[in-house]
Amino acid sequence: MSGHSKWSTIRHKKAAQDARRGKIFTKLIKEITVAARLGGGDADANPRLRAAVAAAKVENMPKENIERAIKKGTGELGGAAYEEANYEGYGPGGVAVLVQVMTDNRNRAASEIRYIFSKHGGSLGEAGCVAWMFDKHGVIVFDKNQVSEEALMEVALEAGAEDVREQEDQFEVITTPGDFEKVKAAFEERGMNYEMAEVTMVPQTTVRVEDEKTALQLLKLMDALEEQDDVQNAYANFDIPDEILSAVA
């Protein structure tokens, strides 16, 4: 998963630096609304809502925006009715791509996602064709130059992390979705700064992409999917070497 984790880190940094905060807020509001609709408006009793609110706070979303989204979800305020759907397919180089959508118009979403796949050298597949390749995990990424491996291992194991993986310039701490917040909080309490922390879909195996042209086309596909208004998340099982990723990203 190293290539995809590396790309996720770059994407998070870019999102924090550019002018897409309104788009980020829109996606977070959708997630909060649906989480509240499905599990109730009490974050303490609704793990999905709790995670969504925590993500919104990381992005400095105003408290009133969060509360309004929760009320829309519980029916106290009117608003669009969103439904969730997954789309699956293959990108350049045979890379598996899983797209999570939250939309008020499924036909529009399907049409636009199919077009994006086609435009960027991919193809939309049947339901279930790639979803089995991914598992849900918490992932917390650290820069190897900013943290002690010994201290990282100690905190991770004490907090209940599943695994710690060493990559070229990163450490990746893997957790179950249920333990993610606890493990993340343990690092924060120790003042250990991470580059990225999220509950994500982790590929069971990866596809090595060493051709620069293919890598560029693949990343353009991922960017286009994440820019699409109905897309909440896009995951892929590529592993692009750091030197190529740095050159094209």
Domains of the chain from N-terminus onward: 12-74 (1.10.10.200), 83-131+205-248 (3.30.70.980), 133-203 (3.30.70.980)
pTM of the full structure: 0.80
CA distance 4 to 247: 15
Strand order in the sheet with 196-203: 163-166, 170-175, 134-143, 196-203
CA angle 237, 241, 246 (to 5 degrees): 110
Helices (H) and strands (E) in the chain, counts: 9, 10
Q: Which helix (H) or strand (E) holds 169?
A: none
Closest CA to 119 of 249, 221, 188, 213: 221
**How confident is the model at residue 218, as a pLDDT?**
93
- 180-194: burial string, b at 16+ Cβ within 10 Å, e else: bbebbebbeeeebeb
Going residue by residue through the chain, which has 249 residues, state the pLDDT in tens, using 9 for 90 and above: 444 556 666 665 555 554 456 678 888 999 999 999 999 999 989 989 998 998 888 788 899 999 999 999 998 887 777 889 999 999 999 999 999 999 989 999 999 999 999 999 999 999 999 999 999 999 999 999 899 999 999 999 999 999 998 877 889 999 998 899 899 999 999 999 998 888 889 899 999 999 999 999 999 999 899 889 899 989 999 988 878 877 776
**How confident is the model at residue 2, as a pLDDT?**
46
Contact at 8 Å (CB) between 82 and 33?
yes
**How confident is the model at residue 19, as a pLDDT?**
46
CA angle 180, 173, 214 (to 5 degrees): 110
Q: Which helix (H) or strand (E) holds 10?
A: helix 2-17
Tokens representing residue 150 in the block:
């010994």
Q: Which helix (H) or strand (E) holds 235?
A: strand 231-236
CA distance 77 to 180: 31
